[in-house]
A and B are shown apart, each in its own frame.
Chain A
């Protein structure tokens, strides 16, 4: 284990004492295999107990520790120091209000997630006593990738559209709606379309693809959004050009 002195430049903001955000430098003795989160924990425990940030699992599954690291949205628990040279700049996730230091306010996402009805709306109710729905591995594969979203918000921080138009429902929430739409057990697509096949929904997306680039779980929200667009377009054609198909 080799040690290296890492310079962290961390955004600090306490609404009670600061009129605006500022940066604070810390020199942190780090082990070579550490991630940025380990360095922040060293700061918290040894250098400055007033620094606030969220973290828990340290294995990239709880989604707590999303932050901007040298300007890129990353999970701090998966941002290896070995991949960085020089001063490392750590800031709260872009496009979200700062609550305190590296902690952001994510109410907007939480509200939007609820709006898109990210839960199974069964085609018909089935009592538990009748056992499981059958779902083949191929049917599972159609939506499985989109279930892997950990709600870490990196895609929102990367999305230029969300930065410009905060009403945009955004990559993760639309992907989770699409996840249920694609599930063979589900019959709730019409209800979800009212939220996501709208200008605030999928039509706000300009297909930059930044969401998929930063996604730590390889969910590929950009692909989910394109699938929603295609299916919505097909809906439109069916409705307007082939009205006899509607009943």
Chain B
């Protein structure tokens, strides 16, 4: 097997991976950096983020406000030291992006513009129309091209981390173009592999969001933290799940039930605010978990709007007018027309909650280091944790910048502290074993299971039992079903046994990643017997700080369900309280 020597290997070349690569290249031009991704960097799912990135910049705002919004938005499951670091670094990172050319939208005086976002008390979301993630990704990608020390390996799928004597020493990956496996010997590895929304059938996430980075760390013994917290974004197109950004509501769009009522006022997010004059942190600018949950209740009351794709609510932006919609929400208009046949300028757009983001992920400390020496993680695949039980919109783009850079600096410190490369003999053995596992999957015959078949069953299970509201009974059934799917996974036989760009193989490996993540979600959710943020139990409806003001940690047990442990939340200044989204009431 061909072997490449590098100092830091980064798995994933989206926002977090690119930010890490640039930070490393700038900090020490002599470092050899391997940026490895299963897709070309510009295909990474960061491109689909629309609304913007939060960072305090305007004089009426403060770091304390951003901190408090984030911590209460996360239902006090955030680590507050990590949130302090996030809000403090956020403005610097966003200015840095500006200096690299990001086309942020502007005020008439030339300063950067900010917009309103859900759960945020002040306007602090930097945006580039409604393609903020796209512009962040392309700015980072294009900026990265000037650094000779960043060597890219586009369309390489990482199958395993190499772990020797208790530290991470590299990885093995398949070069899609040739089907050949390559060994990357690295003194440190950063995982920036994104989320896992494709476990669910109805998601804003692109096809590539299959939890590969999470699964790599998990199988190497690093726990997955807070996996039960899955974010539903309230406003996806019912036909395809395509995201319509929260900025639709930030700009003044409202949500209606079939009777034309702005129903959020009936779920603790009222009183109603004047049309076209959105008030921060209430009504349509409530947090995503609460808004999605309100829709669930409306649906049960029979107040949803029926569509050919199932129940929906209406997102009404007509009063914004064509000019503002074109200027601030051009992509939203384009997609509503293309995929729903509805023009938001003239008609309300049917929308419904859709799986969007994993709050949970690879357990890291505030320095983006995992429990495995030499392994770091950042971005959606990681849980540091700043999102707690519910992420506020526009904190994730900020997170991938702040902690992408942090992971790079930590990896560099680790490398400079004298981490020696592992001996070739040990790595050769590990690499050969990893290669053997892929070869076995490729050559297996007599199997009766198919990738598409098992994937469908997994998705159905997740949607049925791990959605917006959950029950102990449903989750127990999901755990059983997922364990069964895990066993049946070893009975998959590939139809395609050739080498070049074999997507049958790729999808089989991705399914393996998703099954691991899904089981961690279901088991963590079954064990959390309370309702907090995005994790709502119909059989335990209250938040229980006594027992569950703690992070869950799911540890992989090969051939068995994960073991769940807990870890205290870090509290610095904000004691758990009531999440209040009732506007200006006293």
Contacts and interface: CB of A to CB of B under 8 A. Distances in A.
Contact of B43 (A56, A134, A147, A183): A56
8 contacts: A1-B308, A50-B496, A56-B45, A60-B338, A62-B48, A126-B99, A132-B98, A134-B110
Contacts of A61: 47-48, 131, 134, 331
Q: Which of A17, A46, A52, A103 has the most CB of B within 10 A?
A: A52
Interface residues of A, number: 65
A139 B145 contact: no
Contacts of A120: 99-101, 143
A56 B45 CA distance: 8
Contacts of A126: 99
B101 A100 contact: no
A interface, over-half SS = loop
Contact of A119 (B104, B146, B450): B146
A119 B143 contact: yes
Contact of A58 (B177, B207, B309): B207
Interface string A14-47: 1111000000000000000100000000001110
Given A62-B42, A113-B145, A132-B111, A183 B98 contact: no
Contacts of A53: 503
A179 B239 CA distance: 35
Interface string B450-461: 111000100000
Given A58-B242, A99-B500, A117 B42 contact: no
A187 to B, nearest CB: 12
A162 interface: no
A122 B240 contact: no
Interface string B536-568: 000000000000000000000000000000000
A151 interface: yes
B103 interface: yes
A144 B45 CA distance: 21
A58 B206 contact: yes
B99 A14 contact: no
A119 B142 CA distance: 5
Contact of A136 (B95, B96, B103, B110): B110
B135 interface: yes
A63 B206 CA distance: 12
Nearest to A13: B500
Interface in A126-162: 126, 128, 131-137, 139-140, 143-144, 147-151
A53 B506 CA distance: 12
Interface in B479-508: 494-496, 498-504, 507
B297 to A, nearest CB: 27
B27 to A, nearest CB: 15
B226 to A, nearest CB: 26
Contacts of B43: 54, 56, 62-64
Contacts of B135: 147
Contacts of A58: 206-207, 240, 242
Interface in B99-130: 99-101, 103-112
A113 B331 CA distance: 25
Nearest to B112: A132
Given A62-B45, A99-B500, A119 B101 contact: yes
Given A16-B498, A134-B110, A128 B452 contact: no
Nearest to A140: B106
B310 to A, nearest CB: 11
A96 B520 CA distance: 42
A117 B206 contact: no
A203 interface: no
B208 interface: yes
A63 B48 CA distance: 11
Interface of A: 1, 14-17, 33, 44-46, 48-64, 78, 80, 99-101, 103, 105-106, 110, 113-114, 117-120, 122, 126, 128, 131-137, 139-140, 143-144, 147-151, 176, 180, 183, 185-186
B504 A50 contact: yes
A148 B131 contact: yes
A78 B45 contact: no
Q: Which of B45, B339, B456 has the most CB of A within 10 A?
A: B339
Nearest to B450: A49
Contacts of A139: 110
Contact of B134 (A14, A132, A134, A150): A150
Given A126-B99, A148-B131, A52 B503 contact: yes
B32 interface: no
B111 A134 contact: yes
B145 A119 contact: yes
Given A57-B45, A58-B242, A136-B110, A185 B101 contact: yes
A64 B47 CA distance: 12
A185 B104 CA distance: 13
Given A133-B99, A137-B108, A151-B42, 13 more contacts: A49-B451, A54-B39, A57-B48, A59-B335, A61-B134, A62-B47, A63-B42, A119-B100, A119-B142, A120-B99, A131-B95, A143-B103, A183-B101
Q: Which of A53, A117, A140 has the most CB of B within 10 A?
A: A140
Contacts of B100: 119-120
* The 7 nearest A-B residue pairs measured at CB: A134-B110, A120-B101, A56-B206, A45-B452, A100-B501, A57-B206, A50-B496
Contacts of A183: 101
B510 to A, nearest CB: 12
A171 B47 CA distance: 21
A122 B45 CA distance: 28
Contacts of A78: 338
